[in-house]
Amino acid sequence: MKSPTAPVHEIFCSRQGEGLYCGRRQVFLRFSGCNLDCSYCDEPAARSLPSFMMTPAEAASEVVRQARRGRARLVSLTGGEPLLHWRFIKALAPPLKKAGLGIHLETNGTLCRELGEVASLVDAVAMDIKIPSAGGHRPLWSAHRRFLAAAGDKAFIKVVITAASTLADFKKAADLAAGAGKDIPFFIQPATRNKKTRPPRARLVREAGAYAGARLRKVRVLPQQHPLWGVK
C-alpha cells in the first residue's frame, strides 16, 4: 500500500506557549489546511498549502532528529488542523513512540470521527472550544460535545476570548466542559493582539474566570506565552 503524504508547513523545536504543557520543550509538526476560518487565528499561513509534501517516514525522521538535538521528549501535532490528516498520523505515531516521544495533539475539536481513528495513539488532546462571538463562525457546540466525549480523559480545553467575545457564549463553553467532568483542565486564553484581533477587556476575563471556577476545579487564565518570550 502506498504511504500517505500530508502537507507539512514546518517542523521546529521550541517551548510550548499554551495550555497544559506550557514551558515544556516540544518539537512542533505543523500541518497545513484547516476546516475552520477563525478570525483570531495566529497561524493563517498554515491554512494554505505549503511548498512541500512529506511521507510519515520523512516527517518522523526530522522530528526525531530535532527532538534529540533540542532535548525534547514531546512532539506537538498542530496546524492548521492535524486531524484532516489522520491517516498520516496513524503511520507517523509508531516511529515517534519507538523513539520515546510523547504525542500532544492540538485540535479545533470538531472532527470526532477522525479523532476516533488516532485517539489510542496520542497521549494528550489539546482541544479548543470555539465560541462563535470570538471566531466569527457558526456555533459548533454539538460537534465539540461529541468530540469531548470521544477524547475522554486525554483531553484538556482551551477557550480563546477576544474583545468581541460575549459572556453568554463563554458560559456555554464552560458548561459544555463541566459536562465532561469537573476535573478537566480548562484554560481561558485571552487573545494575543494582532492586526485583526483585540484582546478582551479585563472585566470579561474576571467574569469568565469566576463563572468557570464555580463549575470546574482546574481553571487557569493563561495568555499565549511564546510571543512574550520572543520565540516561535
pLDDT surpassing 90 at residue 210: yes
Q: How high is the pLDDT of residue 171?
A: 98
CA distance linking residue 194 with residue 191, whole number of Å: 9
Q: How high is the pLDDT of residue 193?
A: 86
Mean pLDDT rounded to a whole number for the chain: 93
pLDDT surpassing 90 at residue 17: yes
Q: How high is the pLDDT of residue 206?
A: 98
Confidence of residue 45 (pLDDT cuts 50, 70, 90): low
CA distance linking residue 163 with residue 226, whole number of Å: 21
Q: Domain limits of the chain?
A: 6-225
Q: Name the residue with higher pLDDT: 91 or 135.
A: 91
Q: How high is the pLDDT of residue 46?
A: 67
Confidence of residue 1 (pLDDT cuts 50, 70, 90): low
Superfamily of domain 6-225 in the CATH hierarchy: Aldolase class I (3.20.20.70)
**Cell numbers 499561513 correspond to what residue?**
45
If we measure between CA atoms, which residue out of 82, 157, 161, 181 comes closest to residue 122?
A: 82
Confidence of residue 104 (pLDDT cuts 50, 70, 90): very high
Q: How many residues does the chain have?
A: 232
CA distance linking residue 182 with residue 200, whole number of Å: 25
Strand, helix or coil for residue 54: strand
Confidence of residue 103 (pLDDT cuts 50, 70, 90): very high
Confidence of residue 214 (pLDDT cuts 50, 70, 90): very high
Q: Which amino acid is at 198?
A: R
